[in-house]
Amino acid sequence: MAISRRTFLREGMSAAALGVLAKRGLAVAQGSRVGAARGGDPSSSRPFAPVPLNPASVMVDGLPFEATFTGDFYNSPDIPFHSCQNCFDGGKPPAPTEETDVVVIGAGISGLATAFLLKKHNPIVFELRPRVGGSAQGEIWGRTRYSIGNAYVITPDSGSFEDRFYRALGLDKVVRVHDDSDLIELGGELLKDFWSGSGTGLPPDQIAAFERYGEVVVDMGENHYPVIPLLPDEDNQWILELDQKSLRQDIEDRMGMPMPPLLAAAVQAYCHSSFGAGAEEISAAGGWNFLAAEQYGRWVFPGSNAYMADALWRRLQETGKGATGDMQTVRAGCRAVDVRLVAGDRVQVTSSDADGQYHSLLARRVVMSCPKFIAEHMIHDLPALDLEKYDAINRLEYRAYVVANVLLDTPIDRAFYDVFLLGDGNFPMSDGEAAANSKVVDMLNGNYARESAGPRSVLTLYWPLPFGNARFRLVAETAWQDYATQLVPQIHGMLDMLDVPVQSVRQVRMTRWAHAMPLAGIGLMANGTTKFLRRPIDDRIYFVNQDNWALPAVENSILEAQTYAAEIASAL
């Protein structure tokens, strides 16, 4: 088989990537620290939160639930920057009392990766939550790690930056590679070869459409893979043209026929799961960047991507043990509220601690690794600094989702990683239908990457909310009860499917992510929006987040960290 475009391009960049990593030195660097820590207890900020073996529960229609959401813990009045959080007495932030080279704001994968690559420059990382990891957090129940956020990464090309990065963190030693097709649930039955049309009972012409779709996916992966982030020295015009079409339109154009209803429903389920949006809403470039990459398999870690966040957190904790030991590298529970350019080629960053007290420091470079719609409120006088960036931020849209973990006092006998849940095949095919009838799309085996089987197991359920006002539904006062009530019958159906007795449910734990996924909308690369989103301000304020490309991919977070960490390191 000919080498794929994706492999060629990634490996073509690997020599430069290897050189950059060698210069940075991926072994942990330690140095002196100045100033005072203002975060909470460093050990409590770990991405994995412990769960008691016998957690206290409340009953919802016969099932035991944790009595509150995890993840985005705030309720409507407390949403960050929905009220003024940098209205200082006297109109100015307090004078700085610390100075450092690099500040990173936001401790999801984007921020942790950037800080890790810049650790020789003694970065300080601010995180408003009590735990780091962003939407790559997890929990530990007994000896079982499981995800309460995102799930996996695409198998990296050998020698690529991603491959080197994962291996530097030791992820290759714990990974389980999933390179098989997922199961599809249809009408309560689990189908192994659904994407070939097998077992669907469809007429021959619709089976032929499934086969044609499979040919198109393979061709995109092998010959027309849209690499995102765009490669600076490549002719990307064809990707920009692809970006101006919807994924659904492009699939049907390449198939030369409309998708039959069941195939369209399955593609829609994939898009809801991966993008929080329908195939008609997302860019064909962004859509194929995901769909075609799935051919290369997936790396699954114990606790999913929380394991990566935890590995980064541990490296940064070690970095914080400098000669004087008096500066905390990762400051969880500290909300950065104000970022402004000041004299002397510096940036002043002001944060609010757990007691509501403001503290300021000076940095030579600042990396904004929080969502852009938060960053715009934090950067002092952003419209005057970069009006094009300000306008681009206001063109972005974000989608929400819920992750539910079902803790079971029994093993799961059936072997699987991910089951797509199509129900009767009548899947929501529009924003309005999704708003009226959203449901769990993915049922994952939370123990998939565990080293050995144990007496317990976990089902991790992904419930995308692919409609515009979902973020605000999730922070309504009645949200927890509403979603728990809707979840109960869905869980019963899954337990029946897997022959798991309902009495084995120890607890159901729901996590909400109210602004987790940037919408990969049509034309955002082609019309320059992503260019303005990524652009640094005065070569002092940088931006590293998956929403740089309006694409909810962990790989993009890591690759953007690589790009801008190299720029910052060369300037310091």
Write the pLDDT tens digit of every residue in 96-142: 999 999 999 999 999 999 999 999 999 999 999 999 999 999 999 98
* Residue matched to tokens 């008691």: 52
For the chain, the domains span 5-51+92-150+303-391+526-571, 58-72+175-296+396-518
Mean pLDDT of 233-240: 94
Mean pLDDT of all residues in 476-502: 95
In this predicted model, what pLDDT tens digit does every residue of 371-392 receive, in sequence order? 999 999 999 999 999 999 999 9
- Flag whether pLDDT at 550 surpasses 70: yes
Q: How many helices (H) and strands (E) does the chain have?
A: 17, 23
| Cβ–Cβ < 8 Å for 335, 351 | yes
Which of the four pLDDT bands, split at 50, 70 and 90, describes residue 85?
Answer: confident
The whole-number average pLDDT for the span 356-370 is: 95
Tokens (6 digits) for 207: 């089976």
User: How do 183-186 and 335-342 pair as beta strands?
Assistant: unpaired
Q: State yes or no: pLDDT of 15 exceeds 80.
A: no
Please state the separation of Cα 335 from the chain's center in Å.
Answer: 20
What is the average pLDDT score of the chain? Answer: 88
Amino acid at 128: L
User: How large is the average pLDDT for residues 431-437?
Assistant: 90
Lowest mean pLDDT among 83-97, 140-154, 198-212, 319-333: 319-333
Residue 85 or residue 533, greater confidence? 533
27 vs 169: CA distance, rounded Å:
10
Two tokens, residue 245? 């079409």
Q: List Cβ neighbours of 88 (8 Å cut-off, separation of 6 or more).
A: 94, 338, 350, 358
* DSSP three-state, residue 437: coil
Reported as a single tens digit per residue, the pLDDT across 22-39 is 333 333 222 223 333 355
Cα gap 421→183, rounded to integer Å: 9
Q: Give the pLDDT confidence of 559-569 residue by residue, as tens digits.
A: 999 999 999 99
CATH class, range 58-72+175-296+396-518: alpha beta
Q: For the segment 444-480, what is each residue's pLDDT rounded down to a tens digit?
A: 999 898 766 678 999 999 999 999 888 888 888 899 9
More confident site: 516 or 331:
331
Q: Nearest Cα to 465, choosing from 488, 422, 444, 435?
A: 435
**Helix, strand, coil % in the chain, rounded to nearest 5:** 35, 25, 40
**Do 510 and 266 touch, CB atoms closer than 8 A?**
no
The type of residue at 148 is I
The arithmetic mean of pLDDT across residues 47-75, rounded, is: 93
Q: What is the pLDDT of residue 76?
A: 55
Q: Is residue 229 reached through a cis peptide bond, with omega within 30 degrees of 0 on the bond before it?
A: yes
> Is the pLDDT at 223 greater than 80, yes or no?
yes
DSSP assignment, residue 384? H
Give residue for tokens 């159901």: 508
CA distance 518 to 228: 15
The pLDDT of residue 501 is 96
pLDDT confidence band for 6 (50 / 70 / 90): very low
> Hey, which residues does 458 pair with through a beta bridge?
407
Identify the residue whose tokens are 């144990």. 454
C-alpha dist (Å) from residue 488 to 156, 355, 417: 37, 38, 22
Q: Kindly give the pairing relationship between strand 457-465 and strand 398-408.
A: antiparallel
Note the CATH architecture for domain 5-51+92-150+303-391+526-571: 3-Layer(bba) Sandwich (3.50)
Torsion sign, CA atoms 398, 424, 304, 489: positive
* Pair 347, 361: CB distance under 8 Å: no
pLDDT surpassing 50 at residue 399: yes
Contact indicator for 259, 251 with CB cutoff of 8 Å:
yes
Indicate left, alpha or beta for 230 from its phi (over 0: left) and psi (-120 to 50: alpha).
Answer: beta
The two structure tokens encoding residue 395: 């063109």
Q: pTM of this prediction?
A: 0.91
Query: Closest by alpha carbon to 362, among 351, 347, 345, 350?
Result: 347
Torsion on CA atoms 362, 366, 369, 373, rounded to nearest 10: 80
* C-alpha distance from residue 389 to each of 534, 536, 548 (Å): 8, 9, 11
DSSP helix/strand/coil, 311: helix
The whole-number pLDDT of residue 77 equals 57
Instruction: Examine domains 5-51+92-150+303-391+526-571 and 58-72+175-296+396-518 and report if their fold is the same.
Output: no
What span, in angstroms and rounded, lies between the C-alpha atoms of 285 and 226?
Answer: 6
Least confident of 13-17, 308-312, 354-358: 13-17
